[in-house]
Chain A
Amino acid sequence: MATTPNREAPPDTFERDADVLVIGGGMAGAWAAAAAAAEGAAVVLVDKGYCGTSGVTAAAGPGHWWAPPDPPQARETAIRNRQAIAFGLGDPAWMYAVLDQTWRTLPTLGQHYRFPIDDRGQVNYRAVRGPEYMRALRALIEERGVTVLDHSPALELLARPDGTIGGAQGLQRQQANRPWRVRAGAVVLAAGGTSFLSHLLGARTNTGDGYLMAAEAGAELSGMEFTAAYTIAPERSTMTRTMSYAFATYYDADGREIDAPFGPDQTERIARALLAGPVTCSLHRLPADIQARLPTISPNVMLPFDRWGIDPYRQRFAVTLHTDGTIRGIGGVKVADRDCATTVPGLFVAGDNASRELVAGASSGGGNVNSAWALSSGTWAGRGAVAFARRAGGSATARLKPLGRAGLHPVASQGPVDVAALRAAVRSEMQPYDKNLFRSGDRLIRSRQALDAAWRLIADHAGGHDTNPLAARETAALIATARWSVTAALARDESRGMHRREDRPGLNPALGRRLLVSGFDDVWIRPDEALPGPGLHARELVA
C-alpha cells in the first residue's frame, strides 16, 4: 500500500543484499554464519563489538555438553541426568539432537583451533578456550566468505509487506554512527542473552537487544522466569570463572567458616551469607598440582589476584555474586521448529537469544548445555535461514518496513531521558539476591511497578536525533527483558528448578508447562500449548 511508512535509507548508508543476515557474532552467530555459508549462501554477520572478542564465550572457556555415540549408554545417561534437573520442561529428543550435532560439528573447527591432547593422549574437543575458540570461528567464517561487519549493532528488524522478515538496520559506531542496512532472504538472531549489566565476564554488549527485536516482530519468549543464576567472583572484579571455587572455603564477617559445601545449593548459601554481611574466600584447598597448572588451564583467572598482589591460596579475599540473567539462565525467544525458526516467518534464533528450555529445562544450562546449544541451534538456524531464503526467492526488491519502537521512536513527546538512571533502575531490580534469587510475590510486584515506570519513560520519550540511539535502544531492551522476566516469575507461583519463590516453596504439578510472555505497554503471559516432551521424531535425529 502506498501509505505504508517506509523510511528510506539516508544517502550515506552502507547497504548490502544477502541471502542470510546473522545478528550477533558470538558462538551461536558464528556457527550460524558458518553453516549458512557452507550451503553456498551469501552471508553477512553484524556484531555490536568485534566478532572474536565480543560475547560471553570470548573471555571464558566453554565446556560443551559432550557424549560419544558409543557406547549408546553415554548419551542416554547424559540425557537422563539432565532430565532429572529439567523438572518436566526438557525434551529428550532435542537433547539427543544437540549432543549429536555438537559431536559432529565441533571437530570441524580443527583447521583453525588446535584441540589439545590430554594426559591420556586423547584429543580433547569438549573444553575449549574462549579467545582461541572465537578467533578460530572468525577465521572459519572468513574462509567461507562471510562478510563480517564489526562495531555495527543492529537497531531494528525490517519486514516485507507480507510480514516476513527481510533484513535489519543499525549503525556503524566506528564510522561516526553511519547507518547500515542489509536486505536479506532471512535473518538469524544470535545477539545473546543479558546479565542486566552485572559485571559478568564479557557480558557488556549483551543487553537483550535480540529479545526486543524479536518481540517487535511478533515473537514470544519462553522460560523468562528462569533468570536466577548467579556466579561467584572476587569483589569488584569480572572474573566469574568458577573452576577454582569448586575447592573454595567461605567465611563470614567474624571469620567463621560458612557452611556452603560444593554442590547444588552452594550459591544460595553464599547469597544468604552476603545478605547478612561481607563474605571472604580462600582457595587454600585447591590441590597443589592444580594450583601449579592453573595459568595454563584458565590463563585469565590469576590476572586479578596477581595485579592486586593477593595470594588466593594463602590470603582471604572478599567475594560477590554477579547475576547471569538469561546467560546462564535459560529464557529467550521461543523456538518453534526443528530449524530454530521463530513463529515469525523469515526469523530464526540461536544461542542465548533463544529459550534453552528444550535442552536445559528449569535449571541453568551453563557449564555445558549452553555451549552445545549455541553450536547446534546456530547450525540449524543457519541452514534453516538458507532454505527459507531460497523459498522466498526474489523478494529482495520488496519495500521494507522498520519494526523498531521503544528507544527509537517515542510514543509521546520526545524529551531528555536519563539513560544512566534507567539502567541503574534495571540493575537494582535484577541484581539483588533478595529480589531475583530468593523471590516472593510481593517483592516481584514492586519490581514490576518500578520497571513499568522505567518502560513508560523510555517508550514515551527516548529517540530522535539528539539521543545516542544505541544507548537508548539497549536501555529499552534491558527494561523490556527485565519486565518479561519478572512477569513470568510472578506467574510461576511455585518453585521449580532455578526459580525459587519463598512464598511458594513447593512444586505445583499444574504448572508443569512452559510459559510464554510478550508485549510491551501491556505485558501478557500464557501457557505454551505445546506440551513439554518429545518434540522431534526419532528419524529426524539421524541428520
Chain B
Amino acid sequence: MIELVIAERCTACNACVAVCPTNVFDAVAAGPPVIARQADCQTCFMCELYCRADALYVAPDCERPTPSDPAAIVASGLLGQYRRDSGWDEWAERYPNEQWLMETVFRRAAEAAKAPPSL
C-alpha cells in the first residue's frame, strides 16, 4: 500500500492524483497531495512511475499498512528504483527495455523441466 508522500521532494505537480487508478490521493491547495483513501490502494506502484520527483513510497504489503519512516526510506535508496529500472523519463537512454527476454526465459524453463535430473 502507498505509505508516504515525501514532502521535501514533492513538487505538488499532482500527477499522482491524476494517474492513481483507484483514486487514493486528494490534491491540496499549494502543497503535496494527501493519501486520503489508503485502504483503496491496489499496490500497483504506478504512481511511483509517474512521480518525476521520486517522492512516493509504496510498501509491498497489499493487505495492511506498513508504518514507514520517511528518513529511513530516503536513506535506503529505494525511491525511484522502479522509474530507473524501467528506463522511464530521464533514464530512457541508460536502461534498456528487455521485456522480450521473457519468452526466452520460459523456453529455457521448459527445456530444463524436460531435461533428466542432473547431480
Interface residues of A (CB under 8 A from B): 48-50, 52-55, 58-59, 61, 63, 114, 116, 118, 124, 126-129, 131-132, 150-151, 173-174, 199, 201-205, 234, 236-239, 243-244, 246-247, 261-263, 285, 287, 290, 293, 295-300, 302-304, 306-308
| With known contacts A150-B18, A236-B62, A290-B105, A61–B99 Cβ distance under 8 A | yes
Classify the interface of chain A: helix, strand, loop or mixed. Answer: loop
Contact indicator B59/A116 (Cβ below 8 Å)? no
Does chain A have a CB within 8 A of B21?
A: yes
CA distance A52 to B62 in the complex (A): 21
Interface residues of B (CB under 8 A from A): 17-23, 40, 42-46, 49-50, 58-64, 78, 81-82, 85-88, 95-103, 105-106, 108-110, 112-113
Please, which residue of chain B has its CB at the minimum distance from the CB of A114? B97
In the complex, which of the residues A124, A238, A239, A300 contacts B100, with contact meaning CB atoms closer than 8 Å?
Answer: A124
Contact indicator A296/B96 (Cβ below 8 Å)? yes
What is the distance, in angstroms, from A269's C-beta to the closest C-beta of chain B?
13
In the complex, chain B residues whose CB is within 8 Å of the CB of A54: 21
Please, which residue of chain A has its CB at the minimum distance from the CB of B44? A59
Contact indicator A246/B60 (Cβ below 8 Å)? no
In the complex, chain A residues whose CB is within 8 Å of the CB of B88: 131
Please, which residue of chain B has its CB at the minimum distance from the CB of A59? B44
Contact indicator A151/B23 (Cβ below 8 Å)? yes
What is the distance, in angstroms, from B97's C-beta to the closest C-beta of chain A?
5
What is the distance, in angstroms, from B83's C-beta to the closest C-beta of chain A?
9
Q: Can you list 23 A-B contacts (CB < 8 A)? A: A49-B20, A127-B99, A127-B103, A129-B99, A131-B46, A199-B42, A199-B63, A205-B42, A234-B60, A236-B64, A237-B43, A243-B105, A246-B109, A262-B112, A262-B113, A295-B85, A297-B99, A298-B102, A299-B85, A303-B45, A304-B60, A306-B78, A306-B81
In the complex, chain B residues whose CB is within 8 Å of the CB of A49: 20-23
The 6 closest A-B pairs by CB, nearest first: A49-B21, A246-B109, A304-B60, A204-B42, A124-B100, A299-B85
CA distance A237 to B63 in the complex (A): 8
Contact indicator A204/B22 (Cβ below 8 Å)? yes
CA distance A84 to B60 in the complex (A): 39
Contact indicator B97/A50 (Cβ below 8 Å)? no
What is the distance, in angstroms, from A448's C-beta to the closest C-beta of chain B?
28
In the complex, chain A residues whose CB is within 8 Å of the CB of B97: 114, 116, 129, 132, 296
In the complex, chain A residues whose CB is within 8 Å of the CB of B109: 246-247, 262
CA distance A354 to B28 in the complex (A): 40
Contact indicator A131/B49 (Cβ below 8 Å)? yes
| With known contacts A50-B19, A293-B98, A237–B108 Cβ distance under 8 A | no
CA distance A210 to B72 in the complex (A): 43
CA distance A308 to B76 in the complex (A): 12
Contact indicator A296/B21 (Cβ below 8 Å)? no
What is the distance, in angstroms, from B9's C-beta to the closest C-beta of chain A?
18
Indicate the member of A48, A53, A55 with the most B CB atoms within 10 Å.
Answer: A53
Q: A237-B62, A262-B109 are in contact. List 10 more A-B contacts (CB 8 A).
A: A59-B45, A129-B86, A174-B17, A236-B63, A246-B110, A247-B112, A296-B87, A297-B105, A303-B82, A308-B60
CA distance A50 to B47 in the complex (A): 11
What is the distance, in angstroms, from A148's C-beta to the closest C-beta of chain B?
11
In the complex, chain B residues whose CB is within 8 Å of the CB of A246: 105-106, 109-110
In the complex, which of the residues A116, A131, A174, A236 contacts B96, with contact meaning CB atoms closer than 8 Å?
Answer: A116
Contact indicator B99/A236 (Cβ below 8 Å)? no
What is the distance, in angstroms, from A263's C-beta to the closest C-beta of chain B?
6
Please, which residue of chain B has its CB at the minimum distance from the CB of A242? B106
In the complex, chain A residues whose CB is within 8 Å of the CB of B102: 61, 63, 127, 243, 297-298
CA distance A296 to B43 in the complex (A): 20
Contact indicator A300/B62 (Cβ below 8 Å)? no
Contact indicator B99/A58 (Cβ below 8 Å)? no
Contact indicator A243/B106 (Cβ below 8 Å)? yes
What is the distance, in angstroms, from A373's C-beta to the closest C-beta of chain B?
19
In the complex, chain A residues whose CB is within 8 Å of the CB of B87: 296
CA distance A438 to B49 in the complex (A): 38
Please, which residue of chain A has its CB at the minimum distance from the CB of B61? A236
CA distance A63 to B64 in the complex (A): 32
What is the distance, in angstroms, from A194's C-beta to the closest C-beta of chain B?
13
CA distance A308 to B113 in the complex (A): 30
CA distance A307 to B58 in the complex (A): 9
Please, which residue of chain A has its CB at the minimum distance from the CB of B97? A116
In the complex, which of the residues B46, B62, B81, B86 contacts A53, with contact meaning CB atoms closer than 8 Å?
Answer: B46
In the complex, chain B residues whose CB is within 8 Å of the CB of A307: 59-60, 78
Contact indicator A303/B60 (Cβ below 8 Å)? yes
In the complex, chain B residues whose CB is within 8 Å of the CB of A303: 45, 58, 60, 81-82
In the complex, chain B residues whose CB is within 8 Å of the CB of A304: 60
What is the distance, in angstroms, from A434's C-beta to the closest C-beta of chain B?
21
In the complex, chain A residues whose CB is within 8 Å of the CB of B58: 303
CA distance A296 to B100 in the complex (A): 10
CA distance A59 to B99 in the complex (A): 13
In the complex, chain A residues whose CB is within 8 Å of the CB of B100: 116, 118, 124, 126-127
CA distance A201 to B22 in the complex (A): 13
| With known contacts A263-B113, A296-B97, A303-B60, A63–B82 Cβ distance under 8 A | no
In the complex, chain B residues whose CB is within 8 Å of the CB of A55: 21
In the complex, chain A residues whose CB is within 8 Å of the CB of B60: 234, 236-237, 239, 303-304, 307-308
